Chains A and B, each alone.
Chain A
Amino acid sequence: MTNLAGAGPVPRQLEERPRRFVPGQPDMWVFVLFETLLFTGYFSVYLVSRTQNRELYLQSQSHLDLRIGVFNTIALLLSSWAIARCVQAAREGAYRSALTNAFLTISFGIVFLTSKVLEWIKQIHLGNTFTSNDFFQHYFFMTSIHCIHVLIGFLVLGVLVYQLWSPARRSQQLVETCATYWHTVDFLWVLIFALLYVVR
């Protein structure tokens, strides 16, 4: 998010470059660590529950459409690709291109979110709701908590666009921090996709 403390006359793309070990704020990588640990906990609980009722989980998983999961994954991977291009463009000082890629990232994120909501509606029409069984409890929980991360990601991308918009701002560190958050959202989805849709 915004580190407005950095607003000064020095060109942002050059700030603190020699001392940096990771892209963006190191603090954001601490967040990545927290979130990874948290979701590792959720995944472990899911896997333990799955071993206790394997038949139910397999039967329930068959209601999920793998093609939708693949589509979701491609949408988010494309969004990660776009944000990576945005960071690269910002590093090169090509801010128009960086903005275009930031908007592309938001667009792919919206595609992901829309397809996820449509999938939920489809499952509810099939009679598979949050309270149907243990598998769908996990399915709705993990996909919902991930979608909350996506919604927060839109705020983060809004900060990124705000930064890129004006030559008075354009903190490269902040651009990379926002990109790190979005990659985390993508990374978590790949794991959720593998667990819910692929592992049978």
Chain B
Amino acid sequence: MSPSTTKPAVSMTMPQPPSGSAMNRFLWNFRHHPKRELWFAWWVMVIFYSLYGVLFFLVSRVQPPPSPAWSTPMVVHWFDARHYGILAGFGVVFLISGMCAPMNALLAYSMRRMSVSRIFGYSYLIMYSLSAIPGMLVMAIAMTVGALRPDRDPEQIHWLYDFAFLSFSGTMGVFMIGSLVWLVAILIDKNGVFPKWFGYLSLCNALTEVVVAPAWIFQRGVLAWNGAIAWWINMVVFVTYTCAFIVLLRKMIEREDFVTGPLPDLPRKRVGERSDSVGAAS
């Protein structure tokens, strides 16, 4: 329980941006806003997850996942049909993979703002830094190799296909433990950084990470890597969970007062009142 729960007598007064054009307000916020790093990390998160969806589902078209039971000629044809999409999509994925750093930093920051040991934030930071490897990069590398070497033995292309999807869908342990770390931190936190229901939603998310483990065993059915339970239901939970923590992180930044102790609640907005955020100001 590292930070004390007592507030200093003096709390931070938020400087107001000058009136003028949206660009002027944006530039002022960019240079002077006391929460600019937090808002930067939050916007990186929003942009990253938006790009992640577009690149995986629309550009490379590797999601929703194809069948694990396909024959080698079908897999080779699948790679051929997505050749340019995979190269363009995963090319951008490699470029944006560095965006994970500020995202993970913001998540760890939220845990540092809690009344819990720093161990939680550090554990989460390390785990989610590692999670980019199975959750994104291994698949991107394997798919790109398959697309760039179409002349290789079809059996090797099929191996890359299995390797890519199993690494993507079947290595959820790091995400499960990460969700559990967040769950415990939220439940024992006294500063009210996140609502308790989000802690319980983390438990739901962690349990769905367990469900994908049978994807290593089954090539057909509901528990295969493209199955109704292992992929479709899990994806609904993951999207709900991700949207929830993005919104809650935004609220956390709005409430942040840069002191220790409980986060203050936001004042009730009157109609037409401007929000005190870079997002709203810009």
Contact = CB atoms under 8 A, between A and B. Distances in A.
Interface of A: 1-5, 25-28, 30-31, 34-35, 38, 41-42, 45, 48-49, 130-131, 134, 137-138, 141, 145, 148-149, 152
A42 B203 CA distance: 17
B222 A137 contact: yes
A138 B233 contact: no
Contacts of A38: 204, 207-208, 233, 237
A150 B127 CA distance: 26
Contacts of A134: 221-222
Interface stretch (B128-136, B143-151, B190-198): B190-198
Interface stretch (B12-20, B49-57, B210-218): B210-218
B229 interface: yes
Contacts of B233: 38, 41-42, 45
A152 B197 CA distance: 17
B85 interface: no
B228 interface: yes
B201 A30 contact: yes
Contacts of A34: 200-201, 204
Contact of A30 (B184, B188, B200, B223): B200
Given A27-B200, A141-B229, 9 more contacts: A2-B188, A5-B189, A27-B199, A28-B200, A38-B204, A45-B229, A141-B214, A145-B210, A149-B207
Contacts of B237: 38
Nearest to A144: B210
Contacts of B222: 45, 49, 134, 137-138
Size range of the interface on B?
A: 20 to 34
B204 A2 contact: no
Interface string B39-66: 0000000000000000000000000000
Contacts of B204: 31, 34-35, 38
Secondary structure of the B side of the interface? helix
B248 interface: no
B180 to A, nearest CB: 10
A25 B196 contact: yes
Contacts of B218: 131, 137
B120 to A, nearest CB: 14
B182 to A, nearest CB: 13
Contacts of B197: 26-27, 30-31
B187 interface: yes
Contact of A42 (B187, B192, B229, B236): B229
The 3 A-B residue pairs with the shortest CB-CB distance in the complex, in nearest-first order:
A31-B200, A27-B196, A27-B197
19 contacts: A1-B188, A1-B199, A5-B189, A27-B195, A27-B199, A27-B200, A30-B197, A31-B200, A34-B200, A34-B204, A38-B208, A45-B222, A45-B228, A49-B222, A130-B214, A131-B218, A148-B210, A149-B207, A152-B203
B203 A148 contact: no
A31 B229 contact: no
Contacts of B228: 45, 48
A39 to B, nearest CB: 10
Contacts of A26: 197
A148 B229 contact: no
Nearest to B183: A1
A4 B185 CA distance: 12
A145 B56 CA distance: 29
B217 A131 contact: yes
